[in-house]
């Protein structure tokens, strides 16, 4: 990781520990911008996604991801995310940094404080998770679901893993993608 990017990420993590999400957002955006200047596209996407985890309907952050989308394998997903947010201006603002999988008698869901359930889950194979949005988020884009699911599955991802942990995900009947603990996905 580039030294400038690393400094911004450290600032973001420190701000989160100190309970200052606005400063964390600014530092993650700065990390993404720095990675972008150094043509580190996947790194830029990673740090913008960390800012997005603080507010999943942050149009500015999604806009930055959509700007670099042509450089990413997941580019189309970010453009869809941006259009979906424009089509659903009344969606609640919420983050997923503390997303949790809640399992009960009626199944499993991903819950995000303070709004509760956002995704319904079904594990239909050892390495396949099927999910769909809660009714309040009908029309949720794939990228949004994967940002939430990644956070719920890997609360503390190994940033320097040689081979990041991964699994297959099918969202709302769409083609299966392979999601890894760092937040990257690709067709499976």
Average pLDDT over residues 90-115: 93
- What are the phi and psi torsion angles at 121 (to 5°)? -120, 150
Average pLDDT over residues 20-34: 98
User: pLDDT category, 107, cuts 50, 70, 90?
Assistant: confident
**Which sequence spans correspond to the domains of the chain?**
3-87, 100-187
User: pLDDT category, 18, cuts 50, 70, 90?
Assistant: very high
User: pLDDT category, 32, cuts 50, 70, 90?
Assistant: very high
Mean pLDDT lowest among 8-22, 93-107, 109-123, 146-160: 146-160
Average pLDDT over residues 68-81: 89
Higher pLDDT, 107 or 78: 78
Question: Is the model's pLDDT at 111 over the cut of 80?
Answer: yes
Assign 3-class secondary structure to the chain.
CCHHHHHHHHHHHHHHHCCCHHHHHHHHHHHHHHHHHCCCHHHHHHHHHHHHCCCCCCHHHHHHHHHHHHHCCCHHHHHHHHHHHHHCCCCCCCCCCCCEEEEECCEEEEEECCCEEEEEEEEEECCEEEEEECHHHCCCCHHHHHHHHHHHHCCCCCCCCCCCCEEEEEECCCCCEEEECCCCEEEC
The predicted structure's pLDDT at residue 80: 95
Would you say the pTM of this structure is higher than 0.85? Answer: yes
User: Which fold does the domain 3-87 belong to in CATH?
Assistant: 1.25.40
User: pLDDT category, 72, cuts 50, 70, 90?
Assistant: confident
């Amino acid at each position: 990781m580039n030294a400038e990017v690393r400094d911004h990420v450290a600032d973001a993590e420190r701000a989160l520990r100190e309970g200052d999400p606005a400063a964390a957002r600014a530092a993650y955006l700065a990390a993404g911008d720095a990675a972008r200047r150094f043509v580190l596209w996947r790194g830029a996407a990673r740090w913008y996604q960390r800012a997005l985890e603080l507010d999943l309907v942050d149009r500015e952050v999604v806009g930055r991801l959509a700007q670099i989308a042509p450089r990413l394998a997941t580019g189309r997903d970010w453009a869809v995310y941006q259009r979906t947010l424009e089509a659903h201006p009344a969606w609640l603002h919420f983050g997923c940094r503390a997303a949790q999988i809640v399992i009960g008698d009626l199944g499993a869901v991903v819950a995000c404080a303070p709004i509760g359930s956002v995704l319904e889950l079904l594990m239909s194979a050892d390495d396949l998770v099927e999910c769909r949005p809660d009714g309040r988020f009908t029309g949720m884009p794939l990228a949004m679901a994967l940002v939430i699911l990644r956070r719920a599955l890997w609360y503390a991802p190994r940033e320097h893993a040689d081979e990041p942990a991964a699994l297959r995900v099918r969202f709302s009947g769409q083609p299966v993608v392979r999601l890894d603990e760092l937040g990257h996905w690709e067709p499976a």
